[in-house]
């Protein structure tokens, strides 16, 4: 376990002089806290992108809540303490395995507004204007997070008021920000100034620094409206008025009916077996992981990966080619099944997957120009992930997003929350890359009410039918490959959860035809891969993976080293 103190003496002084600011109900000190990367415990654990959010969730577990209660409280706290991605103005997906054996797959993905059109981001000459699909309120889909929270609540035990109160306190009384958050806020000052009609709280005359207190009174008020009125406190009344007011000031197109009509959808989880002992439960479309993860896992199932070894040239080559094959299909076939017929059964069938693997040559790099999608008959990226496991045996895996860091950049005036720029996850024009470099076609074109294709892949693995791994990550198109690698690292390479989370990751997505690697990816392997014909490109970081592993009642929760991610439990 490694602990890191992040906060300055000034935050400590603040607590000494204003002890009443400590969130009494949850015994959390928002002005002095530590990042904890790993915890081993037996009762329950939470791992998320921010220490305060993980603490809020763990306290709910200690106070008798189940994993769903803790997940709701953690998500709401993230919306306050991690504004770049935690949200009430975005959307996401939840996979849960309940103690009674029921699987849940909840889709609270954003939707295209009723006034959206297929070519809304093309200029008169037909050129894609990705500045419009990526920034400001025209890039926003109808938010789904709050509708999702109230669907989750159906499986929770505690009153919603108790679950949302820590988030309200954190917004109203403030919390000290980390060095990472200060840096991100400073880097985005021009973005906020450009895409807001009313100056948001994130804009500051002098640079933000670690230990500064961030107070969000408008957000606290919005959260109180949700506490007192349920989902209507967001989709109707005062908050809806503020959202529509912002749309009018900034040329957005979300209207009152879009908000009122938004529904989260409970879908059937994707469930498949891997090797003898493992059952993998993941999210179906519009989350692409529901097709790509079974494809990739089936493609490697019979290959001698464990003999190759972790990050050996052979293993990286095989996994890269598998990623290439799957992402080629993603570009052509995947989209919202409520709008486009996606041949899911065929794409994930063993016979199709085996046929595709005939294109894999163990001796040399594939080429995306030659390897297209199979023949089927007739994101600066910001998303965030959290895992929870409780003493009753419930497991929850939630990935949620604003899309880019701080979403569209627009804070809904006087409501205090950032709204997403998720419309860029549609294919704004066939062949034109989105902010993650991913291309798409008709399957993922814009249509009113349609959900944009996502890479989010919240996943739970059962071993011998019992919860074994709870996994997920942010990272745009790298999400699915990071989940794939994490599962392979733990299951095939017998790696610890800590190593699987923190060792360098790599990613291939068909186009562009290159392997992205993290800076600490071994140079010798890079050199060998280049000799095989691969182009290698370094990337600052790939994902921020969270893992909970449960073995014989012992829970190990690990937060990624790549951020302020923290594991809590008891």
Site residues (vs ligand GLY, CB under 6 A):
379, 383, 401, 403, 422, 425, 454-456, 476
Cis peptide before 286, with omega less than 30 degrees from 0? yes
User: What gap in Å lies between CA 505 and CA 382, rounded to an integer?
Assistant: 17
74 included as an active-site residue: no
The CB-of-452 to ligand GLY minimum distance in angstroms stands at 7
Q: Which is nearer to ligand GLY, 99 or 447 (CB)?
A: 447
User: What gap in Å lies between CA 466 and CA 97, rounded to an integer?
Assistant: 9
The total of other beta-carbon atoms located within 10 Å of residue 220's CB is: 19
Q: Which is nearer to ligand GLY, 212 or 424 (CB)?
A: 424
User: What gap in Å lies between CA 19 and CA 400, rounded to an integer?
Assistant: 33
Q: Dump strand ranges (E) for 285-439.
A: 381-389, 395-404
User: What gap in Å lies between CA 439 and CA 327, rounded to an integer?
Assistant: 10
Q: H/E element holding 569?
A: strand 566-569
The CB-of-91 to ligand GLY minimum distance in angstroms stands at 8
Distances in whole angstroms, Cα of residue 78 to Cα of each of 33, 211, 317, 399: 15, 18, 37, 12
The CB-of-382 to ligand GLY minimum distance in angstroms stands at 8
Q: Which is nearer to ligand GLY, 172 or 379 (CB)?
A: 379
The CB-of-401 to ligand GLY minimum distance in angstroms stands at 4
Q: Which is nearer to ligand GLY, 223 or 331 (CB)?
A: 331
Q: Which is nearer to ligand GLY, 178 or 401 (CB)?
A: 401
Distances in whole angstroms, Cα of residue 343 to Cα of each of 62, 285, 421: 44, 11, 28
Q: Which is nearer to ligand GLY, 87 or 401 (CB)?
A: 401
Conformation bin of residue 114: beta by default, left when phi > 0, alpha when psi is -120 to 50: alpha
The CB-of-109 to ligand GLY minimum distance in angstroms stands at 8
User: What gap in Å lies between CA 128 and CA 45, rounded to an integer?
Assistant: 45
Q: Which is nearer to ligand GLY, 32 or 473 (CB)?
A: 473
Given 383, 384, 400, 556, the catalytic residue: 383
The CB-of-256 to ligand GLY minimum distance in angstroms stands at 25
Beta bridge partners of 472: 546
Strands, sheet with 536-539, edge to edge from the N-terminal-most edge strand: 506-507, 515-518, 536-539
The CB-of-441 to ligand GLY minimum distance in angstroms stands at 17
- In whole angstroms, how large is the CA radius of gyration of the chain? 22
Residues in the chain: 570
Q: Which is nearer to ligand GLY, 26 or 135 (CB)?
A: 135
Q: Are 388 and 82 in contact (CB under 8 A)?
A: no
| Distance, CA of 210 to chain centre | 25
Maximum Cα interatomic distance, the chain, rounded to a whole number of Å: 71
The residue sitting closest to ligand GLY, measured at its beta carbon, is 454
The CB-of-140 to ligand GLY minimum distance in angstroms stands at 12
Mention every residue, 6+ apart, whose C-beta is less than 8 A from residue 239: 222, 225, 226, 233, 412, 415
Residue 79, SS3 per DSSP? helix
Active site residues: 383
């Amino acid at each position: 376990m490694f602990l890191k103190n992040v906060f300055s003496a000034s935050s400590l002084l603040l607590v000494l002089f204003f002890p009443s600011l400590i969130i009494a109900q949850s015994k959390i000190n928002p002005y002095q806290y530590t990042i904890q990367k790993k915890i081993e415990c037996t009762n329950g654990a939470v791992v998320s992108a921010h220490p305060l959010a993980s603490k809020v969730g763990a306290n709910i577990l200690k106070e008798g809540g189940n994993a769903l209660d803790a997940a709701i409280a953690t998500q709401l706290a993230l919306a306050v303490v991690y504004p770049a991605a935690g949200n009430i103005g975005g959307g996401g997906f939840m996979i849960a395995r309940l103690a009674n054996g029921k699987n849940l797959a909840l889709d609270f993905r954003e939707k295209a507004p009723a006034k959206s059109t297929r070519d809304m981001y093309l200029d008169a000459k037909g050129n894609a204007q990705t500045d419009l699909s990526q920034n400001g309120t025209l890039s926003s889909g109808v938010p789904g997070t709050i509708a999702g929270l109230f669907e989750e609540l159906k499986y929770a035990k505690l009153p919603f008021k108790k679950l949302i109160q820590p988030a309200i306190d954190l917004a109203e009384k403030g919390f000290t920000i980390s060095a990472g958050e200060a840096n991100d806020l400073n880097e985005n000052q021009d973005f906020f100034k450009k895409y807001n009609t009313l100056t948001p709280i994130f804009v500051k005359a002098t640079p933000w620094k670690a230990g500064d207190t961030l107070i969000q009174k408008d957000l606290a008020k919005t959260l109180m409206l949700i506490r007192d009125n349920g989902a209507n406190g967001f989709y109707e009344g005062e908050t809806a008025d503020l959202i529509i007011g912002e749309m009018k000031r900034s040329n957005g197109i979300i209207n009152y009916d879009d908000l009122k009509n938004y529904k989260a959808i409970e879908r059937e989880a994707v469930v498949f077996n891997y090797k003898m002992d493992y059952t993998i439960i993941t999210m179906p479309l519009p989350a692409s992981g529901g097709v790509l993860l079974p494809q990739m896992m089936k493609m490697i199932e019979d290959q001698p990966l464990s003999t190759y070894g972790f990050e050996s040239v052979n293993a990286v080559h095989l996994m890269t080619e598998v990623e290439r094959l799957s992402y080629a299909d993603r570009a052509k076939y995947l989209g919202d099944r409520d709008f486009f017929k996606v041949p899911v059964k065929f794409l994930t069938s063993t016979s199709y997957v085996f046929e595709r693997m005939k294109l894999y040559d163990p001796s040399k790099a594939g080429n995306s120009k030659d390897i297209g999608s199979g023949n089927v008959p007739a994101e600066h990226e910001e998303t965030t992930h959290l895992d929870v496991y409780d003493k009753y045996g419930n497991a929850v895996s939630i990935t949620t997003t604003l899309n880019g860091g701080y979403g569209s950049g627009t804070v809904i005036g006087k409501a205090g929350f950032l709204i997403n720029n998720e419309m860029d996850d549609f294919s704004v024009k066939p062949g034109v890359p989105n902010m993650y470099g991913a291309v798409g076609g008709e399957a993922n074109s814009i249509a009113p009410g349609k959900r944009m294709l996502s890479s989010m892949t919240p996943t739970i693995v059962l071993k011998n039918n019992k919860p074994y791994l709870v996994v997920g990550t942010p990272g745009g198109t790298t999400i699915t490959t990071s989940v794939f690698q994490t599962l392979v690292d733990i299951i095939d390479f017998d790696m610890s959860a800590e190593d699987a989370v923190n060792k360098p990751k790599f990613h291939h997505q068909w186009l562009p035809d290159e392997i992205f690697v993290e800076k600490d990816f071994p140079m010798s392997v890079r050199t060998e891969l280049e000799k095989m014909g691969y182009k290698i490109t370094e990337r600052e970081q790939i994902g921020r993976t969270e893992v909970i592993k449960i073995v014989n009642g012992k829970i190990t929760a690990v937060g990624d080293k790549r951020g302020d991610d923290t594991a809590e439990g008891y």
